[in-house]
Chains A and B, each alone.
Chain A
Amino acid sequence: KAGVTQTPRYLIKTRGQQVTLSCSPISGHRSVSWYQQTPGQGLQFLFEYFSETQRNKGNFPGRFSGRQFSNSRSEMNVSTLELGDSALYLCASSLGGLTSDTQYFGPGTRLTVL
C-alpha cells in the first residue's frame, strides 16, 4: 500500500498571504489528522477529519481551517499568514474507528513565512 503523501513538500510565503496544503491518506483510511511541528512548541494537534466532517479540533485560531473530500483526501488552509506559522505541517491517517488506532504520518510540508 502506498503511504501517506503530502503536497507540496516546501512552501515559501510572505506575511498576509494564505496557503493550502494537501494530504492523501493511505487507501482505506477515513481519518486524517493535522499537526504542526515547531522547535519551540513540538508537535501540536490542529484538527481531525473523518467522513468529510471535522471530528476534533485543537487550540489554534480560526485562521487555520481544513476540509476533507469524499475520497478522504484532506486539505488545510492557513489565511493571513504570520511569521509564527513557519513550521512543518504533518498529516496522519488512520482507519478512524471508535477506538484509537495507529496513525501513519506523511512526510510533511515545510512552510516558511517571510
Chain B
Amino acid sequence: GENVEQHPSTLSVQEGDSAVIKCTYSDSASNYFPWYKQELGKRPQLIIDIRSNVGEKKDQRIAVTLNKTAKHFSLHITETQPEDSAVYFCAASSGNTGTASKLTFGTGTRLQVTL
C-alpha cells in the first residue's frame, strides 16, 4: 500500500521567515495530495491541495509543489505569522473508485513561529 514520509518532524522559524515541509510517497498511482493544518485540540483543516496533472499551486502565502518523477511534494509558507503555528500533515490518495477517499497521511510537522 501507499507510504508517505514527512520531514522535518519539528520546525521552528522566526516570524516573517519561510517554512518548507517535504513529503515523499511510494505509490505511483497516487494523484491527489492535500495538506492539512491541525491546531491544538482542533480538527484537521485543508489548507491547500494539488493533483498530479499540476506541478505547482499557490494560494496567497501558501504554495505546494509536486514532482511526480521523484514522488515528492512540498509545502511552502512565506512570511510566516504566529497563527501559522500548528501541526501540518501531508497526505496522498489515488483517484480510483474505491480508493479515492483513502488518505494516507504523513507523520506530521510541528511548526512553531517565534516572534
Q: Which residues of A contact B (CB under 8 A)?
A: 4, 31, 33, 35, 42-45, 48, 50, 55-56, 58-59, 90, 92, 94, 96-108
Contacts and interface: CB of A to CB of B under 8 A. Distances in A.
Interface string B38-68: 0000111110010100000000000000000
Given A99-B95, A100-B93, A102-B49, A31 B43 contact: no
A56 B97 CA distance: 9
B88 interface: no
B31 interface: yes
Contacts of B42: 107
Interface of B: 1, 31-32, 34, 36, 42-46, 49, 51, 89, 91, 93-95, 97-108
A94 B102 CA distance: 11
B101 A42 contact: no
B43 A105 contact: yes
Contacts, number: 72
A100 B46 contact: no
B34 A48 contact: no
Contacts of B89: 42-43
A41 to B, nearest CB: 9
A35 B107 CA distance: 14
